[in-house]
Structure 1
Amino acid sequence: MTRVPWATLSGQDMEDLAALLLFSEYPDGAQHITPSQGDGGMDVRIWTPDGWDVYQIKKFFKSLEAGQKTQVLDSFSSFQAEVASTGMDVKCWTVLMPWDPTREQRAWFERETADSAFPTAWEGLTRLELLASHHPAAVDYFIGNGRERLSDLIMQAMRIGSAPLEVAPGGSLAGVALAKMVEIEDLLQKSDPFYRYTITIESAPDFSNGQIAPAQQHEVAYAKYHGIDATRCVVIRAFYRTEGIAQLRPIRAHFHLTPEEGSPEAAAVQEFWEYGTRLEDIPGTVTVLDDPTGLADEGPGLISFIASVDTLLPDLEVRLLSEGGHVLHRVPLVNPVRSAGQVEGGNSLAAQDSAGTFSMVVKANGMSGRYGFHFTLNDLTGKTPMQVLSSLRFIRDLLPGNATVLGIQGAGELGNRVVVPEGLPRLPSVLLT
């Protein structure tokens, strides 16, 4: 196994590698804290049934000097303030660095944190080396040739479609090409500590004026297409190994959106800018794309932004109230997606009813006071009357004078009540503001 030269890593590489090792060790519930004005004494936090395990990562690789001790205590004080202001449920706050403390320095740390309302710990080189031994791909990506090997594997996968291929019924590759594809997919899983991959042969997406509009699975972080012929292409899809990887190793792109003025696409861009709502199939051009493989894709296309389901939200429902405030209907919601816009105060929450009868978006801007619900009826093909009845009754009773409100199942309301106005357009799309 490659040894990690902790002392020669930059502060950012040290933090990123340590965070990745924690994410790899605890794939469920880990989050990377990106500081805006200070990180609140947190670099990585991991959810457990007993509360948050919080890690503050420091690069210090030898006995702490006075200034470094001050940095540790400043981080501890910042986290104490964060807990006091938010009520965060904390299992333990741990300072993590590539140096095992002496008995004297551990005693200093325990003395300085003794008045804490939550447990504290100091973990050092021994812990980091153990994590590194468990996850060699993470180490190889940062200090070996893992990143370059990953790019080469992606290029090999792309070249699968460069020569005429024998294809079995149903569109799958056959013979040598299939074996090579399976081999590359397996190597990708072992080489990339951030993502897992699938490689498939599919019908070519619709090319219109040089633009690509492929349908994507919700969990896909990104996809690469390489044409085999006029009707088929190799598709390489990458999926985040854990939800928090999107924070630790994000995909960055520079793009220019070019919707036609006054079009529905232009209105969607404005909504995306203000509230962070979903953006789908907007004409534009990608000028720079930084993805984990290091391969750049640039050019025109149809651009979509899809937020991730927020697993930390409570169980939600949408309620319909009579003019007198009596609850007429409660409809449970699933797959909540919470996003923030670029305009200060703007945010949105998208979800659907548990039966999949309708989709709902709540848009709010605390600065301007705007607040509204948007309901869209989904395709009901294949659903039974019993499945959709309660949700259809909710939509049916969106009548003038009644009001909608978001709520927590078994608890109170969230946000504002919105009264249904006169002259409201009926299905398939209803907008309340």
Structure 2
Amino acid sequence: MTDRGWIVDQIKYFTTTLNKDHKRQITSSYERLRKFAAGKGAVVVEWRLVVPLNPTTENLTWFDGLTARAGYPCHWRGWTHVEGLAAAFPEVVDYYLHDGKARMAAQFERVMRVMGLREDPSPLGPVVPASDIARGLDDLYRALNTHDPHYEYSFGIDSERPDIPTDPRLVAATQQQTTAGGPWITFKIRWRYPQAVQDRPVTTNLRIAVEPDSDAARAIDTAVTYGAPLRLDSADAHTFRFDVDFPHGLGGEFTRGVFTMDPLPHENAVPYELRLQVLDEQDTVTDTALLSMEPATLGYHRQGLRTVGREEHGVFDVELLVDVESRGFHMNLAMRDLTGASPQRILPGLTAAAHFRAPHRFRIAAAHGPIRDVPLSIPGTDGDEQELVSPALLAMVRALAHIQDHTSARVTVPDPTRTLHADVRRLVHTARVLREGTLAGPWRGFEVPGPVPEPLKPFVLAGDPIAWAIHRSLDLVLNGVHIPLGHERITLSSARVEQRDGGYAFIPDGDDTQQTTHHPEPLENHDPPKPSAG
């Protein structure tokens, strides 16, 4: 196949001058190609009849008549052309007609012994310079690729197990360690021409058995039915056997390892966007999230579809499983790591995920336009403990989003798994002070560690109530960034000060009202407090 269209070689094994049956077979193949190309909308730019037979004058007259109205060049490539191919590719002749296949196997065994991948009783010799090793590896590469006309082989040695990059010519790859903790040796097998996988097939036989109703069984069912990628460890199966017939002796029988299976791509699938709406018990829309979806994949039975995506700001992943026959579908949401995210950006998606629970309902539609679909129930029960978003996480992000309105410093979400409830309470309090400016309400006694400040000592001894003001910084440090927010002044209208072990305590006395006021200047800029009689 070229940029201009198809170049077709029609190969026939006729070694004597053409008879009626030979001509009938050639004509049938030629007409079948024309019908096939027309049905596929393909353009044939050249057709070549390849036979180990040079044409006679009568043969050429017949051939010219057959192809007179082809509309593209047609050629007879006979014995002379075939001999030229044999001279250009002697390894093909050697592999099929002589003992090249056996020589290839023997050569590979020698290569494997040199690389330490086969048992060899001979002891190791002295250390070899790296330059000599490089020359030896070059020789090994040439030896590996001398006799096989179908496949090309390459190898590599790495201290860590490398990833196998995508390669359209890659047929298979093997990776192994010869010793525990030793280097990883990778062999790659690539076809020399696309037809190689038909001329010398690579066959596999897989048998896996898992416990019914297990995670592994559900993963297999989802992969086969809907087209989810599958990754199955042999430790999760009570039967695991994988027989592989790779060329050059690289296959074998495997009873331990990890089996992965990629989904079938849907030929018409493209990336797209969806809207997710969450509705309350009165079917009032409470939240809307935009989802960026990947192209759909097919189940191996072609009865289901699967498409995955992500909320536009990376709050959660979404999976849609569609039953083609019943036209039903199921939606799964999974939270992503929000560490370092902008709270103002993620808050709408986080709120939608928090409300995505029973007895609420949801519906999905295209990114733009009206939504007329009937809302669907969210699986689960009211008060289900399997909530996607904890109340503490939602409260923290809401507080951080409001704090961002009061500072030019970039506010980001700290690691939710390492944030204590006390930290969340402080953030919520800080956001409220910034939002309202002044707070008033009752207070309860509290202890302060350390020695009693000098201005308070007379009041501790006398036991008289005092009015006292406490100044406390509101500054934050989030993900290593200092967030300046000023400080708060907490005024206690009437309090007694009592000595305690390791510190002192403030106790309400009569009037238990406290007033909290936000001051934008830094804490160090205010005057120290002075007590007064309450």
Same-fold call, TM > 0.5?
yes
The reply to whether residue 100 of structure 1 matches residue 54 of structure 2 is yes
Q: How does 1:248-263 map to 2 (within 5 A)?
A: 248-263=199-214
Question: Any idea what SS the aligned residue of 1:402 has?
Answer: strand
Report the counterpart of residue 247 of structure 2 in structure 1.
292
User: Match of 2:85, as an amino acid?
Assistant: L
Which residue of the other structure, out of 71, 83, 93, is the alignment partner of 2:25? Answer: 71
Output the CA distance in 1 between the equivalents of 2:336 and 2:212.
Answer: 28
Q: How does 1:133-212 map to 2 (within 5 A)?
A: 133-159=87-113, 160-161=115-116, 162=119, 180-202=136-158
Output the CA distance in 2 between the equivalents of 1:133 and 1:340.
Answer: 47
Report the counterpart of residue 216 of structure 2 in structure 1.
265
Q: Which ranges of structure 2 fall in alignment gaps of 5 or more residues? A: 277-288, 354-361, 368-372, 380-386, 390-534
Q: How does 1:15-30 map to 2 (within 5 A)?
A: none
Q: CA RMSD in A?
A: 5.3
Change (3 A) 1:108 1:249: same
Which of 1 and 2 has greater Rg? 2
User: Match of 2:182, as an amino acid?
Assistant: R
Question: Any idea what SS the aligned residue of 1:239 has?
Answer: strand
Report the counterpart of residue 222 of structure 1 in structure 2.
172
Q: Which ranges of structure 1 fall in alignment gaps of 5 or more residues? A: 1-45, 206-213, 405-417, 428-433
Report the counterpart of residue 54 of structure 1 in structure 2.
8
Q: CA deviation at 1:58?
A: 1.5
Change (3 A) 1:122 1:238: same
Question: Any idea what SS the aligned residue of 2:18 has?
Answer: coil
Report the counterpart of residue 301 of structure 1 in structure 2.
256
Q: How does 1:307-318 map to 2 (within 5 A)?
A: 317-318=270-271
The reply to whether residue 235 of structure 1 matches residue 198 of structure 2 is no
Contact 1:165 1:173 in 2 (8 A): no
Deviation track 1:55-82 (CA, whole Å, cap 9, x = no partner) reads 2222112211111211111112222221
Change (3 A) 1:166 1:403: farther
Q: CA deviation at 1:102?
A: 1.7
Q: How does 1:359-378 map to 2 (within 5 A)?
A: none
Say which is worse superposed, 79-88 or 157-166, in terms of deviation. 157-166
Deviation track 1:375-430 (CA, whole Å, cap 9, x = no partner) reads 9999999xx99xxx9xxx9xx99x843238xxxxxxxxxxxxx9996749989xxx
Q: CA deviation at 1:359?
A: 10
Question: Any idea what SS the aligned residue of 1:50 has?
Answer: coil
Change (3 A) 1:128 1:423: farther
Output the CA distance in 1 between the equivalents of 2:150 and 2:293.
Answer: 34
Report the counterpart of residue 111 of structure 1 in structure 2.
65
Deviation track 1:222-250 (CA, whole Å, cap 9, x = no partner) reads 34456543222562412313572444433
Question: Any idea what SS the aligned residue of 2:154 has?
Answer: strand
Change (3 A) 1:369 1:308: closer
User: Match of 2:272, as an amino acid?
Assistant: R
Deviation track 1:111-146 (CA, whole Å, cap 9, x = no partner) reads 123333554333222222223322222332222333
Report the counterpart of residue 120 of structure 1 in structure 2.
74
User: Match of 2:154, as an amino acid?
Assistant: T
Contact 1:202 1:232 in 2 (8 A): no
Change (3 A) 1:57 1:230: same
Q: CA deviation at 1:217?
A: 4.1
User: Match of 2:214, as an amino acid?
Assistant: S
Contact 1:204 1:231 in 2 (8 A): no
Question: Any idea what SS the aligned residue of 2:8 has?
Answer: strand
Output the CA distance in 2 between the equivalents of 1:243 and 1:109.
Answer: 29
Which residue of the other structure, out of 399, 402, 410, is the alignment partner of 2:365? Answer: 402
TM-score, scaled to structure 2: 0.49
Contact 1:221 1:237 in 2 (8 A): no
Question: Any idea what SS the aligned residue of 2:146 has?
Answer: helix
TM-score, scaled to structure 1: 0.58
Q: How many percent of aligned residue pairs carry the same amino acid?
A: 23
Output the CA distance in 2 between the equivalents of 1:402 and 1:65.
Answer: 66
User: Match of 1:254, as an amino acid?
Assistant: N
Contact 1:166 1:175 in 2 (8 A): no
